[in-house]
Structure 1
Amino acid sequence: MLDNSLLLFGSSSSAFHLSRNFPLVLAGGHNMGFKHGRYLNYAGANPIGGAWTGGPEPYTKAIRKEDQPLTRVFVTMLQQLGMQTDGFAGATGNFPELLS
């Protein structure tokens, strides 16, 4: 059943309540073309976070890697479910890295 279903679990517990670097789990969808069993890291080896020890707030640091919008995951999910769409919530593009 899971091969024919999709389950997206996410948390907004990124460092300092920023709207980036959210941990997500996408399960299922093998029969829809999704590739699993791997970890995709778009935050880099040392993402913004950790304990604050004074000085400039961590959220003011420059992002070292390009953020990937969550809407790309939604567009990919919709496309694999058979919907003809190129965008979601005002953003466009899919996430081909999720597909096998």
Structure 2
Amino acid sequence: MFAPTYANSLESRQKACETSENACLEWDRERWNEEKASNMEKQWFEEDKLQNQMEFYEKQHTEKYEFEKEKWNCELEFKEKKFQMELTIAALSSSRPIAELEHILTLLNKK
């Protein structure tokens, strides 16, 4: 596929050069501009690709952080509710003051 295009291109250049030196130079300049444009497109494509990767990893990291934060908040909320239930049960089944029971449960939960 590449060979016929390249052969046609050389043939085209040869015809341009046979016409005049300026036509030959113009042909070379056009090919150089085409190649330069192609290289710029490749560079932009690579830059876009890298930008997309950075955005993906940033989003992934943020989502993971948000998930961990939510998980920690749920665990904390669960422990607080459990503590309140234990305190309520202890208060209903004991004659001790609530502040004393709260202190005892706090010490037990630290272990």
- TM-score normalized by structure 1? 0.23
TM-score normalized with structure 2 length: 0.22
Quick one: higher RCO (CA 8 Å, sep 6+), 1 or 2?
1
Bigger strand share:
1
- Larger helix percent: 2
